[in-house]
Amino acid sequence: MEPKENIFPNAVWIDEKNLGIEKDNSKCINCGTCKLTCQKVTGKTFYDPKDCLSCGNCILTCPMNALKPKNELSQVRRALKENKLLIAYISPAVRVSIGECFGLTPGEFCAQKLIASLYKLGFSYVFDTTFGADLTIMEECYELKNRIVKGGTLPMITSCCPSWVKYAKLYYPELEENLSTCKSPIGMQGAMIKSYFAEKIGVKKDELFTVAITPCTAKKMETKEEQFQNTDAVLTVTELASWMKEEKLDLKKMEEKDFSSEFGEGSGGGTLFGSTGGVMTSALRTLYYMMTNEKIDESLLESLRETKRVKELELTIGQRTIKVAVVHGLTYAKPLLEEIKEKKSKYDFIEIMNCELGCVGGGGQPKLYEKEYLKASRQKGLQNRDRNQEIHAPYENENIKKIYQEFLISPGGYISLKYLHTKKKEEEKN
C-alpha cells in the first residue's frame, strides 16, 4: 500500500504509479533540491503524486541519483529474446546529447553512429522521429489554417509536449479546445509503423516491437495512454547509453550508418523540434507555403532561435497578420494561459514546452551538473544541422509526399483523423 504522506517531506513525492520516473528512497537524503527544481520548472509544488507531470527535471538535479527514468529496458530485452522485430525511432534532441555519455561535447551531432549502435543492439530498423515531426507539422498547419479561415478556436496551442498537455488538463481544462488535436511526433510515428509500414513489409503488428529513443521521461507516460499505444517502449538517452555500455559499445568508435529508408530523415524543421522555437519555425515555414504557395524569407524567423523564455513574432501571410508566441518552462506560460482564459489573448498560435530550452533540456538527458549553460550547445547543434539540411520543410520531404499519396491521402482527411489525431477530433468529424 502507498503511504498516505510523503515520507521525505522536502522531496518531490514520486510513487509507484508514476509512469515516467521512479525514486529510490534508500538513496534520498531529503535535501529538497528536487522540489526546488520542480517549482522552478512547473511553478507548482506537487502535493499529490498523481499530479506529477513526469517531466524528469528533478532527476537532473538530484545529487544522490535517487531519481531516475522509469525502467523500460527490461521490456525491450524481453522483446529481443522473444524474437520480435525491433524498430527504433530517434527523437531530434537525442542526436546532440547522447555523445556526452561517451566523452563527446554537448551539441556534437552523432546520429549516424547512434544508428549503427542500435543495429548492433539488435534493432532491425532504425527510423528518424523527425519524420513524425514533419507529419505533425503537416497536420497541425492544416488544422491551424482551417481555424484561421473558418473562425475556429484561437489561439491554437501545440500538443506535442506530454508534460504540458497534462498540466493543461489539470489546471486549465477550460482551454481544451485551444489545444491542437494532433498527436505528438512519436504518437504519429508509432501509428504509421503499426499500420502503413507493417502492411508494407507483410508483418502482423503484434510481431513488431517499437521503441522510441527520447530525451523525455514524460513520453513514457504518454505512450501508456490508450490512443498512443503504438509505441511499445520508451528509452531515454541515459537508459540507452547505460545499455550500450553494458554491451561494451563505444559510440565514439562506431561506424556511421544511415536511417532505414522508409521513414528516413525528415526535414530541417523536424530536426528543430528538439529545441524551443523549433515547432514554430517548422510550422511557419509550412503555413506560409500552404497559404501563399511561396517559400518564406528565413530571416523573418531568426528570432525564434533565441534562448529567451518567451518569444513573440508577428508575420504577414497573404492578407492575414499572424501573431505567435513560443514559451519554454510552464512557469513562463502561466501569464499567457491566464490571458487566454480571460479571452484577452492576442495570439493565433502558441508553442509550449515544459523543459528549459525544450527537449534538449529534457529529464531523460544526461546530467550537465554545474555546466547547465551547455544545454544551449545542444540547441545550437540542432540549429546548425537544420541550416545544413537540403530539405527545410515537411512539404518538401519526399517521404512525406509518398505517405500521403500511398496511404493518408490528405492532411486532416479521414485516414489522418483516424491515426494521427486524438479521438476528440474523430468524434467531431462523425
Residues that bind ligand SF4 (CB under 6 A): 8, 10-12, 21, 28-34, 37-38, 41-42, 46, 52-58, 62, 64, 66-67, 161, 163, 215-216, 218, 353-355, 358-359, 362
**Residue whose C-alpha cell reads 524528469 in the numeric block:** 56
User: In terms of CB distance, is 38 or 301 closer to ligand SF4?
Assistant: 38
User: In terms of CB distance, is 148 or 188 closer to ligand SF4?
Assistant: 188
Cβ 78 to ligand SF4 shortest distance, Å: 25
Q: Compute the Cα dihedral for 406, 396, 318, 151 and give only its sign.
A: positive
Amino acid at 245: K
- 115, 189, 365, 390, 410 from 183: Cα distances, Å: 25, 9, 22, 26, 16
Cβ 6 to ligand SF4 shortest distance, Å: 10
Separate counts of helices (H) and strands (E) for the chain: 17, 10
Give CA–CA dist 369/77, Å, rounded.
30
Cβ 79 to ligand SF4 shortest distance, Å: 23
User: In terms of CB distance, is 170 or 290 closer to ligand SF4?
Assistant: 170
User: In terms of CB distance, is 274 or 412 closer to ligand SF4?
Assistant: 274
Q: Output the DSSP codes for 15-75.
A: -TT-SSEEE-GGG-----HHHHHHHHHHS----SGGG-----HHHHH-TT--EEEPP-HHH
Cβ 12 to ligand SF4 shortest distance, Å: 4
User: In terms of CB distance, is 58 or 251 closer to ligand SF4?
Assistant: 58
Give CA–CA dist 129/104, Å, rounded.
22
Cβ 177 to ligand SF4 shortest distance, Å: 21
Residue 85: Cβ within 10 Å count: 16
User: In terms of CB distance, is 116 or 355 closer to ligand SF4?
Assistant: 355
Cβ 334 to ligand SF4 shortest distance, Å: 15
Diameter over CA atoms, the chain: 62
Cell of 30: 531529503
Amino acid at 89: Y
Q: Output the DSSP codes for 149-203.
A: HHT--SSEE----HHHHHHHHHH-GGGGGGB--BPPHHHHHHHHIIIIIHHHHT-
User: In terms of CB distance, is 275 or 399 closer to ligand SF4?
Assistant: 275
Cβ 19 to ligand SF4 shortest distance, Å: 11
Task: Return the bridge partners of 353, or none.
Answer: 328
Cβ 198 to ligand SF4 shortest distance, Å: 26
User: In terms of CB distance, is 11 or 340 closer to ligand SF4?
Assistant: 11
